[in-house]
Amino acid sequence: MLKIVKTSCFIVATSMMLSATAKADINADLQNICTIVKTDDKSELRKKMKKVQSDYRMKLRDYYTGISCGGNSLIRTALLNNAVETGTLMIKKMPKKDLKAPEQDGKTLSAWVAEQGLESSPIAAVLKDRI
């Protein structure tokens, strides 16, 4: 009986350590994603997304809300920096329901685009077509 308790405690402790390590690793892997979006480097963004998906089994929608680039989401950052390639890629990879959902400030992407006067952006056109 004591052996089972010790084994259970060991397994729980090990799994907790591994989950903390995985979280730290994903933060390191996503560290420069804002820079990649701002510089409109589509191929580097695609590589980063593939690496995160293969290493952590997470898609863009899983970590999108947890990333803030100067207080803006990744797609908003692409819109503000006129990063057409990366903005278009992210819009195509995100589910429609997530694109319609309010972001951290309570505004949807469409409402934010209209508020900022970015309706003429090619990224806004892709967003409108996708929604």
CB of 79 closer than 8 Å to CB of 113 = yes
Residue-level length of the chain: 131
**Alpha carbon distance 55, 11 (integer Å):** 22
Q: What is the DSSP letter of 37?
A: H
Residue 17: predicted pLDDT: 46
Rounded CA-CA distance 72/91 in Å is 15
Nearest to 94 by CA among 64, 128, 114: 64
User: What is the pLDDT at residue 21?
Assistant: 43
Q: Is 82 left (phi over 0), alpha (psi -120 to 50) or beta?
A: left
pLDDT one-digit tens code per residue, 54-85: 888 888 888 888 888 888 888 999 999 999 99
**Backbone angle region of 69, left / alpha / beta, with phi > 0 → left and psi within -120 to 50 → alpha:** beta
9 pLDDT higher than 50:
no
For residues 130 and 91, is the Cβ–Cβ distance under 8 A? yes
92-129 as b/e, with b when 16 or more CB fall inside 10 Å? eebeeeebeeebeeeeebeebbeeeebeebebbebbee
Mean pLDDT for the chain overall: 81
32-43 pLDDT, tens digit per residue, is 888 888 999 999
